[in-house]
């Protein structure tokens, strides 16, 4: 193989960043997303499970189809006013008086002066705060209409990453802003908000503003197929000039379980174990020993995160006697990896908790899909089934409850102590053995 360009390994396998050089086209999802991006005024919600490749898919399509875009990273506690201010700040490079516009469509001088005037007022207000720590105040002139104009003039769309993390009250306000953006699409066809979030994000937007029905394109990003996952190491070994034997590649694909982020992490660990830091001159073949080292590194990195996710899921409020997280996950374990419907889960729960109600189950199933509760389960709209979001979580839960049962049988009062690293090692052995 002739190497024509050198790549850094961190730019090829990117578990924490959108993939570029190893981007995998997913035609079924791609067609729906492109159609939405090319429909004037259509607001978009891209949703799916953590690690399934939502952000990677969107970022690559935006680079292909859009002149500009800005991104706001959402987090719990972020307010509507902070969202507006963040978008305004991120538009600054497009309105800098020193900026040379290479495109023929330039921002008009009157709108540029309006932007700079608001920016100047905000700077003046900050200077008068007498060096006390205060939250930035949204100036009256920075209305959603003005923000829409500033975005439209620069041919920008606004991406809200992790949209599901913000509070419902703020989502209501953002749904209203989406409605405004739709109304202004005749003047600015590219004006849109793209919200990236977990399952249920799309229906929340429509729920908060019924007028958004048929004006929001809901793009569900499913887990990657084995063929799609396989393309990641396929492309990576060509760019870095190493070879993964089919048997080892099959193990990587199987363990990734449809999640691009896990596949990228394992491939990156393989390169670290083989001391590959960039494209190498002479092609080398990866052996089983290297894969074992990569998996051991994965175990060491993941154990604390794994235990932390379950600690979140099992957290109880003061005075709460029944641990809903344990009740639900124990019931879900009674089904295979494809999971179960709400009705099936409730039936299992009622065998030991006859008074357990469907509203309680529905509410906590939603919590268990959120980052605040560890994102342990996922929901498949096509089958209406809930399942563990990763095989790792299923294995950990099985071991946890087995040890808890042993404790109850022995009538011990000590705290159950599950060794996360042991669980991971058992999972890896079981997965790779099949």
Percent of the chain surpassing pLDDT 70? 86
**Beta strands 385-388 and 193-197, pairing class:** unpaired
Mean pLDDT on 213-241: 91
Calculate ∠ Cα 10-11-14, nearest 5°.
70
Place of tokens 């009538």: 411
Measured CA to CA, the distance from residue 79 to residue 169 in angstroms comes to 9
Residue 133 — pLDDT band, cuts 50, 70, 90?
Answer: very low
Residue 424 — pLDDT band, cuts 50, 70, 90?
Answer: confident
CB 153 within 8 A of CB 108: yes
Range picked from 114-118, 171-175, 276-280 for highest mean pLDDT: 276-280
User: Facing residues of 284 across strands?
Assistant: 242
Token pair listed for 157: 């769309």
Calculate ∠ Cα 319-321-323, nearest 5°.
115
- Classified as helix, coil or strand, 20 is coil
Measured CA to CA, the distance from residue 145 to residue 177 in angstroms comes to 9
Judge whether residue 202 has pLDDT over 60.
no
Phi/psi of residue 381, nearest 5 degrees: -60, -30
Measured CA to CA, the distance from residue 6 to residue 89 in angstroms comes to 36
By C-alpha distance, which of 200, 201, 204 is closest to 161?
A: 201
What pLDDT was estimated at residue 184? 95
Over residues 245-303, the pLDDT tens digits come to: 999 999 999 888 788 988 999 999 999 999 999 999 999 999 999 998 998 888 788 77
Judge whether residue 102 has pLDDT over 50.
no
What pLDDT was estimated at residue 100? 44
CB 42 within 8 A of CB 189: no
Measured CA to CA, the distance from residue 59 to residue 54 in angstroms comes to 9
Q: Which residue has the higher pLDDT, 427 or 252?
A: 252
Q: Which residue has the higher pLDDT, 9 or 408?
A: 9
Q: What is the longest distance spanned by two Cα atoms in the chain? A: 78
Q: How many CB atoms lie within 10 A of CB 40?
A: 12
Judge whether residue 416 has pLDDT over 70.
no
CB 386 within 8 A of CB 421: no
- Classified as helix, coil or strand, 120 is helix
Over residues 345-383, the pLDDT tens digits come to: 999 999 999 999 999 999 999 999 888 899 899 888 778
Measured CA to CA, the distance from residue 255 to residue 366 in angstroms comes to 26
CATH numbers and ranges of domains, the chain: 25-221 (3.40.50.300), 226-305 (1.10.8), 309-433 (1.10.10.10)
The mean pLDDT value of the chain amounts to 85
Whole-angstrom CA distances from 379 to 268, 321, 358, 363 are 29, 27, 16, 13
Token pair listed for 331: 């019931």
Q: What is the layout of strands, in order, in the sheet containing 43-48?
A: 68-73, 156-161, 193-197, 43-48, 216-221
Q: Which residue has the higher pLDDT, 129 or 321?
A: 321
- To the question of pTM greater than 0.85 for the whole model, the response is no
Residue 425 — pLDDT band, cuts 50, 70, 90?
Answer: confident
What pLDDT was estimated at residue 135? 60
3-state secondary structure 228-267: HHHHHHHHHHHHHCEECCHHHHHHHHHHHCCCHHHHHHHH
Percent of the chain surpassing pLDDT 90? 53
What pLDDT was estimated at residue 205? 57
What pLDDT was estimated at residue 402? 79
What pLDDT was estimated at residue 3? 57
Judge whether residue 147 has pLDDT over 80.
yes
Residue 131 — pLDDT band, cuts 50, 70, 90?
Answer: very low
Range picked from 38-52, 114-128, 194-208 for highest mean pLDDT: 38-52
Q: Which residue has the higher pLDDT, 424 or 358?
A: 358
Side-chain-side CA neighbours of 167 within 13 Å: the count stands at 9
Mean pLDDT on 115-142: 71
Residue 206 — pLDDT band, cuts 50, 70, 90?
Answer: low
CB 198 within 8 A of CB 218: no
Range picked from 211-215, 281-285, 334-338 for highest mean pLDDT: 281-285
Judge whether residue 190 has pLDDT over 80.
yes
Q: Which residue has the higher pLDDT, 217 or 128?
A: 217
What pLDDT was estimated at residue 405? 77
Mean pLDDT on 294-314: 86
Place of tokens 């100036």: 139
């Amino acid at each position: 193989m002739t190497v024509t360009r050198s790549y850094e390994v961190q730019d090829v396998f990117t578990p924490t960043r959108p993939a570029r050089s190893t981007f995998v086209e997913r035609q079924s999802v791609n067609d729906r997303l492109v159609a939405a991006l090319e429909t004037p005024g259509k607001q978009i919600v891209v949703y799916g499970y953590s690690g399934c490749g939502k952000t990677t898919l969107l970022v690559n399509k935006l680079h292909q189809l859009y002149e500009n875009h800005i991104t706001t990273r959402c987090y719990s506690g972020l307010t509507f006013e902070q969202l507006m201010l963040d978008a305004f700040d991120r538009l600054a490079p497009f309105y800098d008086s020193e900026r040379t516009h290479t495109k023929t469509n330039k921002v008009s001088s009157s709108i540029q002066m309006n932007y700079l005037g608001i920016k100047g007022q905000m700077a003046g207000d900050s200077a008068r705060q007498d060096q006390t720590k205060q939250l930035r105040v949204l100036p009256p002139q920075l209305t959603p209409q003005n923000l829409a104009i500033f975005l439209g003039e620069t041919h920008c769309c606004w991406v809200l990453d992790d949209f599901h993390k913000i509070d419902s009250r703020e989502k209501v306000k953002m749904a209203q802003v989406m409605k405004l953006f739709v109304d202004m699409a005749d003047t600015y066809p590219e004006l849109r908000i793209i919200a990236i979030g977990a399952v249920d994000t799309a229906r929340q937007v429509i729920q908060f503003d019924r007028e958004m029905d048929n004006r929001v394109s809901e793009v569900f990003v499913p887990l990657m197929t084995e063929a799609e996952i396989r393309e990641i190491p396929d492309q990576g070994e060509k760019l870095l000039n190493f070879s993964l034997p089919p048997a080892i590649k099959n193990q990587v694909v199987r363990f990734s379980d449809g999640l691009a982020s896990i596949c990228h992490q394992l491939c990156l660990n393989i390169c670290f174990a083989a001391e590959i830091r960039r494209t190498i001159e002479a092609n080398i073949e990866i052996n089983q020993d290297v894969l074992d080292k990569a998996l051991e590194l994965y175990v060491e990195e993941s154990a604390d995160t794994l235990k932390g996710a379950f600690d979140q899921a099992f957290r109880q409020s003061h005075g709460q006697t029944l641990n809903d997280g344990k009740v639900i996950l124990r019931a879900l374990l009674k089904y295979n990896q494809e999971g179960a419907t709400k009705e099936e889960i409730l039936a299992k729960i009622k065998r030991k908790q006859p008074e357990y109600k469907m509203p309680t189950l529905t509410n906590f199933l939603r919590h268990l899909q959120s980052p605040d509760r560890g994102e342990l389960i996922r929901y498949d709209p096509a089958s209406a089934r809930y399942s563990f979001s990763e095989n790792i979580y299923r294995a950990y839960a099985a071991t946890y409850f087995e040890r808890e049962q042993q404790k109850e049988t022995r009538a011990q009062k000590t705290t159950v102590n599950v060794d996360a690293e042991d669980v991971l090692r058992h999972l890896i052995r079981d997965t790779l053995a099949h």
